[in-house]
Amino acid sequence: MLFGVAFGGTIRYEQFQWGYSCENGPRVWRQHFEDCAGFTQSPISLPSAPAPTPPFLDRIEYQNAGSSKKLFELKQENKAINLIYKGPENERLSLTGSVFDETKKFLFDRTVIRVGETDCCGSEHLINGTQFAVECQNYFYESKYKSFDEAMKVPGAIVVTSTIHEATDENLPTNEFFEKLPFISGTNKGIECNIENYAAQLPVFAGEGKKKRCTNCDFYFYEGSLSYPPCSQVALWHVYMDTRPFSKKQLAALRSVIDYEDKKPLVGNVRPAQPINFRDILQYRDGEEHKLPPPPQFPPQMPQGAQFPPHMMPPHGQVPDEYLRQMQQQPPAQHQHLPPYPGPGRPQQQQPRRG
């Protein structure tokens, strides 16, 4: 049923069932969801060339990331495998740091797992033009909002931390998450899932205080959007630079899940990289040696008692008081305004008479 009106050449369909095929996939989303045609869309292709860390970008710190079991609901939502937090509120994972001041905290809502049909086309974000097997996207919302859905209406109130995984021939240990994947195959019903040591998915820290260092804290930061409809441009993305391994057995378990809507494997749920446009892509690299120095103070300040050399004009703020007093006593200069730009309240310049 057609619902809505044309807006900027776009017609919205209330009942449009989006997906990842040619008929309903990313290439046609913008025809049904206005934000999908925006200028700050996700995902993007990330650079491999290193860059220094800006002084305002800090390490991401996690709270409630202990090794105890955490309760999740495992289910299909938005054409992907979702792990939605269902445990006690006082044990909910949260984060601080990045570009935010000390008063801001973001609460964990869910992890979204995306996997490709092959080992080279599963991640949404690319690094140096390379795609990987899996991308795990952790969605957080600002703590002053009651829920993820409420925060999703406010630009900057959603934070995503993303980890890219590549296939390995190693035999990695399994857990309850992989064991319960068959229970969500072909259905939209969820199932409880207890995951022990969920913090193993997060960066590893060593040391305390100023000596605290992280071996895999480095990340890219940019302003973006949800990578699925309605593509709301509200998300601040943090994509970790270090990839993690996924075994062939684990990848096979992910690819065995059947989409409950089209009855096909839930794979290839990946949006192509979007134009960067005018956005900056920042890099955080752990350690003071990677930090850019703070910008110089302007105007430059001279130490107490110091004097400028005779050939240099002192900047504003260092001008002697006597000089300022003399300048203030002088009458204002009479500026000449030429047509067609007369000054306000000034008569037009008289043109000379001919003959």
Q: Which CATH number fits the domain that encloses residue 262?
A: 3.10.200.10
Asked whether the CA dihedral 245, 247, 252, 253 is positive or negative, the reply is negative
Tell whether 112 is covered by a domain: yes
**Domain co-membership, 24 together with 136:** no
Residues 280, 217 share a domain: yes
pLDDT for residue 217: 87
Domain total for the chain? 2
For the chain, how many residues are written?
Answer: 355
HSE (side-chain half, CA atoms, 13 Å) at 219 = 24
Same domain, 1 and 127: no
| 352 within domain boundaries | no
The pLDDT value recorded for residue 306 is 57
Based on the domain organization, do 56 and 167 belong to the same domain? Answer: yes
| Torsion region of 197: left, alpha or beta (phi above 0 gives left; psi -120 to 50 gives alpha) | left
The pLDDT of residue 307 is: 59
Question: What was the pLDDT predicted at 65?
Answer: 81
Q: Are residues 268 and 183 in the same domain?
A: yes
Domain range for residue 18? 1-33
| Full 3-state SS string of 219-281 | EEEEEECCCCCCCCCCEEEEEECCCEEEEHHHHHHHHCCECCCCCCECCCCCCCCCCCCCCCC
Q: Which of 271, 290, 309 is the last residue of a domain?
A: 290
What is the DSSP-derived secondary structure letter of residue 31?
Answer: T
CA gyration radius for the chain?
Answer: 28
Q: For residue 6, what pLDDT is reported?
A: 31
For residue 124, is it within any domain? yes
| pLDDT for position 344 | 47
210/183 same-domain check: yes
Let me know if 257 is exposed, middle or buried by CB neighbors in 10 A (0-12, 13-18, 19+).
buried
52 and 4 in one domain?
no
Of 105, 63, 69, 103, nearest to 86 by C-alpha is: 69
Predicted local distance difference test score (pLDDT) of residue 229: 96
Q: What pLDDT score does 136 carry?
A: 96
Cα–Cα distance for residue pair 246/167, rounded to 1 Å:
5
Quick one: 180 and 55 in the same domain? Answer: yes
| 311 found inside a domain | no
Tokens 């989006």 map to which residue?
18
Is there a single domain that holds both residue 28 and residue 45?
A: no
100 and 8 assigned to the same domain: no
Q: List, for residues 23-73, the tens digit of each pLDDT value.
A: 999 999 999 999 999 999 999 999 988 888 999 999 999 998 876 788 999
Please identify every stretch of the chain with a pLDDT value under 50, giving residue numbers as ranges: 1-13, 317, 319, 335-349, 355
What is residue 341's predicted lDDT score, i.e. its pLDDT? 38
